[in-house]
């Protein structure tokens, strides 16, 4: 884990939030390569679950929502973790993550109390009172439920259909830890899939398979993922059935994704609370239906961590130990790097620059590197998971061919310039 964290910081994937001020617990900033990686993950997900299907549509709802949303959903009342405070050093812990004594100073704990994990803020320039309180959303799902009627009215979908959203969620975690695994500000990719009551078993099974399809497509090591049927006592207040997809992270087996059967809990609660009917009439002459919901929920940051943990590889290449990230091509933040063999030969640099600029128009995630010798450049690109390296040498000037080197095998091949783009994305 330490190796991954250090590589991420050194190479510009992830930095501690507010770093120069000593950080802010539970926050992380994505650096130049991290943001490319994250965007690739989100784009792949959006494409797979929204654009390639005809029963799904997308949404981007506001983070700040009317506080009534979270009262109706049960979060104001029930979205809490058990908290204990050490009587001696005053440090606070999640009661279910510590033993009898304080792990810091050995002191005794006070009584367990419930701590609501929603971040509260105030809206408008009014004195603080009950009516000015708003919450930063603790899950993106809320925005989907309150837009159910809008989407139905605009698009008249038939059941089953889903609404997907990618966006930030905030939780005032008592103990943020394990790098980006548990943070206070994170991103989710969520789907609320609306179904006919009574059809949940089959739909749940279809979504279970879709989660596995995603895990494979994202380049997460499937051998490290296991399903856990969450017992009733541990399920969220809205769920009648949950499978956690757990991943063997370097710090242990922990939840990566959740798949839940949320019944009609949310639509019914929002309908009762808002007074707006949240049903659908999708068959002429039939009674309106109050749909039930299957919810696959994917954490973006946990996806990134699982991808990094799956991709991190150390091997021996040409008698030297090297570290590389074995990203899938679709996920790799940089698809290819272009080098001139020698930095001080203007004709090589000009030719390499020309190839680089032309390639960048077709495949934007391309990098230029002319620092140090070729061996060092290869190592640097391996470490950030670049699948292909293109070298422009003296032969290029004669016959318009370049060498293309494969990250995983280290093998090099000569190919015409005209074939580079196809090879890079293949
Ligand atoms: N809408 C359902 C929901 O929010 P959840 O199990 O609480 O369910 C869903 O969260 C996913 O969001 C998790 O499986 C995880 O991937 C991600 N997640 C939850 N809390 C997180 C945190 N504090 N930091 C990073 N990711 C988190």
Q: What is the pLDDT of residues 339-355, one digit of tens each?
A: 999 999 999 999 999 99
DSSP state of 387: S
- The CA distance from 37 to 337, in Å, is 16
> What per-residue confidence (pLDDT) applies to 219?
97
Q: Which of 141, 186, 189, 256 to mutate to test the pocket of ligand 1 (most atoms within 8 A of CB)?
A: 186
Residue nearest to ligand 1 atom 7, measured at CA: 139
In the prediction, which pLDDT does 317 show?
85
- Output the pLDDT for position 285: 82
Q: How far apart are CA 78 and CA 81, in angstroms?
A: 9
Sheet containing 388-392, strands listed edge to edge, beginning at the edge strand earlier in sequence: 366-368, 336-340, 388-392, 401-406, 412-416
Q: Which atom of ligand 1 is nearest to the CA of 171?
A: 23
- CA–centroid distance, 10 to ligand 1, in Å, is 27
Give the pLDDT score at 328: 95
**Residue-level pLDDT at 257:** 98
pLDDT at 426: 84
Planar angle of CA 311, 246, 314, nearest 5 degrees: 20
- Pocket of ligand 1 contains residue 301 by CB under 6 Å: yes
How many CB atoms are closer than 10 A to CB 87?
12
Decide: 190 in ligand 1 pocket, CB within 6 A. Answer: yes
Q: Under 8 Å CB-to-CB from 334, ≥6 apart: which residues?
A: 33, 36, 365, 366, 367, 381, 384, 385, 386
pTM: 0.95
Query: Over the chain, what is the mean pLDDT?
Result: 95
Residue 126: what pLDDT?
Answer: 74
Among protein residues, the one with the nearest Cα to ligand 1's atom 25 is 182
Query: 33 alpha carbon to ligand 1 midpoint, in Å?
Result: 23
Answer yes or no: is the C-beta of 81 below 6 A from any ligand 1 atom. Answer: no
Of 40, 11, 74, 115, the C-alpha closest to 323 is 11
CA-nearest residue for atom 22, ligand 1, is 182
Which backbone phi and psi does 381 adopt, to 5 degrees? -70, -35
Residue 50: count of CB within 10 angstroms of its CB: 19
Q: Does the C-beta of 257 come closer than 6 Å to ligand 1?
A: yes
In short, whether 246's Cβ falls inside 6 Å of ligand 1 is no
Q: How far is the CA of 245 from the centre of ligand 1 (A)?
A: 12
**Residue 28 β-bridge partners:** 16
pLDDT of residue 284: 81
pLDDT at 283: 82
Quick one: what percent of the chain has pLDDT higher than 90? 88
Does residue 258's CB lie within 6 angstroms of at least one atom of ligand 1? yes
pLDDT mean values, one per 10 residues, the chain (426 residues)? 96 97 97 98 98 98 96 93 92 89 93 93 82 94 98 95 98 94 98 95 96 98 97 88 97 97 96 96 87 97 98 91 95 98 96 97 96 94 98 97 96 97 93
Do 99 and 84 meet the contact criterion of CB atoms below 8 Å apart? no
- Which of these, 374, 378, 358, lies nearest to 366 by C-alpha position? 358
Cα dihedral 43, 45, 46, 50 in deg (nearest 10): 160
DSSP 334: -
What pLDDT score was predicted for residue 252? Answer: 97
186 lines ligand 1 (CB under 6 A): yes
H and E: helices and strands count for the chain: 13, 22
Terminal C-alpha separation, the chain: 31
């Amino acid at each position: 884990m330490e190796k991954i964290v250090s590589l991420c910081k050194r190479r510009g994937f992830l930095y501690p939030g507010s770093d120069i001020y000593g950080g802010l617990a539970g926050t992380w900033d994505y650096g130049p390569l991290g943001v490319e990686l994250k965007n690739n993950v989100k784009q792949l997900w959006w494409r797979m679950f929204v654009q390639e299907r005809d029963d799904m549509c997308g949404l981007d709802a506001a983070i700040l929502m009317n506080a009534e949303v979270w009262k109706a959903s049960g979060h104001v009342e029930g979205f809490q973790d058990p908290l204990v405070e050490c009587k001696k050093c005053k440090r606070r812990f999640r009661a279910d993550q510590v033993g009898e004594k304080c792990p810091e100073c050995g002191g005794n704990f006070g009584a367990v109390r419930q701590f609501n994990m929603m971040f509260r803020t105030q809206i408008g320039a009014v004195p603080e009172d009950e009516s000015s309180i708003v919450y930063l959303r603790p899950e993106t799902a809320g925005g989907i439920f309150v837009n159910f009627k809008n989407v139905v009215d605009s698009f008249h979908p038939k059941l089953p259909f889903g609404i997907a959203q990618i966006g930030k969620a905030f939780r005032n975690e008592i103990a943020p830890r394990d790098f980006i695994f548990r943070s206070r500000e994170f991103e989710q990719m969520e789907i609320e899939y609306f179904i006919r009551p009574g059809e949940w078993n089959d739909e749940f099974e279809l979504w279970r398979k879709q989660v596995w399809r995603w895990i494979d497509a994202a380049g997460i090591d499937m051998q490290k993922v296991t399903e856990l049927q969450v017992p009733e006592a541990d399920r969220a207040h809205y769920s009648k059935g949950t499978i956690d997809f757990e991943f063997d992270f370097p710090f242990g087996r922990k939840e990566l994704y959740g798949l839940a059967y949320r019944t009609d809990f949310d639509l019914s609660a929002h309908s009762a609370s808002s007074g707006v009917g949240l049903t659908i009439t999708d068959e002429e002459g039939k009674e309106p239906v109050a749909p039930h919901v299957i919810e696959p929920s994917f954490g973006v940051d946990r996806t990134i961590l699982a991808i990094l943990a799956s991709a991190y590889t150390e091997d021996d290449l040409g008698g030297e130990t090297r570290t590389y990230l074995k990203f899938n091509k679709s996920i790799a933040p940089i698809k290819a790097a272009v080098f001139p063999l020698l930095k001080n030969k203007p004709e090589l640099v000009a030719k390499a620059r020309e190839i680089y600029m032309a390639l960048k128009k077709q495949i934007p995630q391309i990098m230029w590197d002319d620092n140090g010798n070729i061996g060092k450049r290869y190592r640097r690109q391996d470490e950030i998971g670049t699948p292909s390296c293109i070298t422009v040498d003296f032969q290029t000037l004669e016959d318009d061919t370049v060498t293309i080197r494969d990250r995983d095998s280290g093998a090099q091949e000569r190919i015409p310039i005209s074939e580079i783009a196809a090879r890079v994305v293949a």
